[in-house]
């Protein structure tokens, strides 16, 4: 069945897509996150091996790329006000959505920084797609292990908040049918 939005039924205009820049950065972040978790779970399952080491190196490079993408998103977000949520959105829903999004931004900055620091403490030279970054810290394996535990915990928090974020988007799309997803459409 073809699903039309409540906004269309009521004659109210569907929310307009946000700027192409922020939509591109949004879906780039989503794609990179899928890749990052895929790489992490694969090298974890493989254990110490040449393939595992190559996947860790890829994970490190793409993880640093996420840091750049998220930094660009934050700069864009604070310099470009966006339209508020549809008028019938409850105040608590707006607060929850803002809290989830702000926490996700914070965790998406913390995650690569912790991963980077933990890797450096383990004695790794970190490379960004082959280009070696300066070694700034002295090796400390205990500290590195602690930080990798934090890295894993932040990973679960990112997954949980992403699930909430997606649930909110699906609620708008299929239950409220207010066409909000149109703001982030890919094409
Ligand atoms: C948003 C970006 C990132 C995400 C979502 C992410 C996600 C993950 C996850 C889910 C794991 C597996 C944790 C576990 O269960 O043990 C992991 C492990 C790891 N990450 Fe990341 N990561 C990110 C960025 C980085 C960066 C930037 C680096 C380094 C420059 C890095 C280095 C590592 C390493 C070396 C491990 C293996 C740790 C071990 O030996 O147990 N990560 N990452």
Predicted pLDDT at 13: 61
Domain range enclosing 54: 15-184
Query: Which residues line ligand 1 at a C-beta cut-off of 6 Å?
Result: 33, 36-37, 40, 44, 56, 59-60, 63-64, 66, 108, 111-112, 115-116, 119, 126, 148, 151-152, 155, 158
In a domain, 175, yes or no: yes
- Report the separation in Å between the CA atom of 67 and the middle of ligand 1, taken as the mean of its atom positions: 13
The CA-based dihedral angle spanning residues 15, 20, 24, 30, taken in that order and rounded to the nearest 10 degrees = -10
CA triplet 69, 74, 76: central angle to 5 degrees? 95
Query: How does pLDDT run across 98-111, given as a tens digit for each residue?
Result: 999 999 999 999 99
Of residues 187 and 121, the one with the higher pLDDT is 121
Q: Note whether residue 5 is domain-resident.
A: no
Q: Is residue 8 part of a domain?
A: no
**Within-domain flag for 4:** no
Task: Give the CB-side neighbour count of residue 80, counting CA atoms within 13 A.
Answer: 12
Tokens of 179: 């066409």
The string of pLDDT tens digits covering residues 144-174 is 999 999 999 999 999 999 999 999 999 988 9
Q: Is residue 98 part of a domain?
A: yes
Residue 7: inside a domain, yes or no? no
* pLDDT on residue 3: 30
* Residue 49: pLDDT over 60: yes
Instruction: Check pLDDT > 90 for residue 138.
Output: yes
Size of the chain, expressed as the number of residues it contains:
187
Please check whether residue 74 lies inside any domain of the structure.
yes
Q: Say which residue, 85 or 179, is predicted with more confidence.
A: 179
Ligand 1 atom having least distance to the Cα of 37? 10
Total domains in the chain come to 1
Query: Is residue 6 assigned to a domain?
Result: no
**The pLDDT of residue 81 is above 90:** no
Higher-confidence position of 7 and 174: 174
Q: Give this prediction's pTM.
A: 0.90
């Amino acid at each position: 069945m073809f699903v039309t939005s409540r906004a269309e039924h009521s004659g109210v205009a569907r929310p307009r897509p946000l700027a192409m820049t922020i939509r591109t950065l949004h879906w780039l972040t989503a794609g990179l996150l899928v890749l990052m978790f895929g790489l992490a779970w694969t090298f974890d399952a493989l254990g110490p091996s040449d393939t595992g080491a190559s996947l860790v190196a890829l994970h490190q490079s793409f993880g640093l790329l996420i840091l750049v993408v998220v930094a660009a998103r934050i700069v864009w977000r604070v310099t470009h006000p966006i339209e508020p949520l549809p008028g019938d959105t409850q105040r608590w829903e707006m607060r929850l959505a803002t809290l989830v999004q702000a926490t996700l931004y914070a965790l998406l900055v913390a995650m690569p920084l912790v991963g980077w620091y933990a890797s450096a403490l383990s004695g790794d030279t970190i490379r960004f797609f082959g280009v070696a970054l300066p070694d700034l810290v002295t090796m400390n394996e205990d500290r590195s292990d602690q930080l990798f535990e934090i890295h894993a915990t932040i990973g679960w928090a990112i997954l949980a908040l992403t699930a909430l974020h997606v649930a909110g988007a699906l609620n708008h799309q299929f239950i409220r049918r207010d066409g909000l997803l149109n703001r982030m459409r890919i094409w």
